[in-house]
Structure 1
Amino acid sequence: MNIVLFDETQKINDDVFQLTEQQSKHIHSVIKMQEGARIRIGLLNGNMGYGTYLGKEAASIEVVSLDQAPPKALPLTLVLALPRPNMLKRTLLNITSMGVKNIVIVNSAKVEKSYWQSPVLEYSNLQGILREGLEQAKDTLLPSLQLIPRFKPFVEDILPRMLSGKRGLLAHPYNASVCPVALTEPSILAIGPEGGGTNLRWKNGVKLVLNKCI
Structure 2
Amino acid sequence: MNLILLHEADFISSDIVRLSGHRLEHIIKVHRAEPGQQLRVGLLNGNIGSGQITSLDDQQVELRVELTRNPPPPPPITLILALPRPKMLKRIIQHVTALGVKKLVLINSYRVEKSYWQTPWLDEKKLFEQCLLGLEQAVDTQMPEILLRKRFKPFVEDELPELSQGSHKLVAHPIGGTSCPMDLSENCTLAIGPEGGFIAYEVEKLKEAGFHSVHLGPRILRVETALPVLVSRLFPSS
TM-score, length-normalised on structure 2?
0.83
User: What SS does the aligned partner of 1:12 have?
Assistant: coil
Given candidates 204, 208, 211, the residue that maps to 1:209 is 211
Distance 1:209 1:109 in 2: 19
CA contact (8 A) 1:96 1:143 kept: yes
Distance 2:19 2:100 in 1: 24
Distance 1:85 1:137 in 2: 23
Matched, 1:123 2:139: no
Equivalent residue, structure 1, for 2:10: 10
Matched, 1:38 2:33: no
CA deviations over 1:138-163 (Å, ceiling 9, x no partner): 11111111111111111111111122
Distance 2:116 2:151 in 1: 13
User: What displacement does 1:175 show?
Assistant: 3.0
CA deviations over 1:26-52 (Å, ceiling 9, x no partner): 221223223321001111111111001
Equivalent residue, structure 2, for 1:25: 25
Gaps of 5+ in 2: 217-238
User: What displacement does 1:186 show?
Assistant: 0.4
Question: What residue identity is the alignment partner of 1:109?
Answer: Y
User: What displacement does 1:178 show?
Assistant: 2.7
Following TM superposition, where does structure 1 have runs of at least 4 consecutive aligned residues deviating by more than 4 angstroms? none
TM-score, length-normalised on structure 1?
0.91
How many correspondences in the alignment? 213
Distance 2:17 2:182 in 1: 39
Distance 2:25 2:47 in 1: 24
User: What displacement does 1:81 show?
Assistant: 0.4
Alpha-carbon RMSD: 1.9
Equivalent residue, structure 2, for 1:110: 111
Give aligned-pair identity as a percent.
Answer: 42
Distance 2:20 2:215 in 1: 41
Higher fraction of helix: 2
CA distance 1:61–1:2, change in 2 (3 Å): farther
User: What SS does the aligned partner of 1:51 have?
Assistant: strand
User: What displacement does 1:24 show?
Assistant: 1.6
Distance 1:37 1:124 in 2: 32
CA contact (8 A) 1:36 1:55 kept: no
User: What displacement does 1:117 show?
Assistant: 1.1
User: What SS does the aligned partner of 2:42 have?
Assistant: strand
Gaps of 5+ in 1: none
CA deviations over 1:19-75 (Å, ceiling 9, x no partner): 251212222122322332100111111111100133243523423311111111110
CA distance 1:142–1:207, change in 2 (3 Å): closer
Equivalent residue, structure 1, for 2:140: 139
Question: What residue identity is the alignment partner of 1:21?
Answer: G
Question: What residue identity is the alignment partner of 1:184?
Answer: S
User: What displacement does 1:101 show?
Assistant: 0.8
Equivalent residue, structure 2, for 1:95: 96
Equivalent residue, structure 2, for 1:52: 52
User: What displacement does 1:206 show?
Assistant: 5.1
Of 15-24 and 187-196, more deviation after overlay is shown by 15-24
Question: What residue identity is the alignment partner of 2:87?
Answer: N
The equivalences for 1:168-183 within 5 A come to: 168-183=169-184
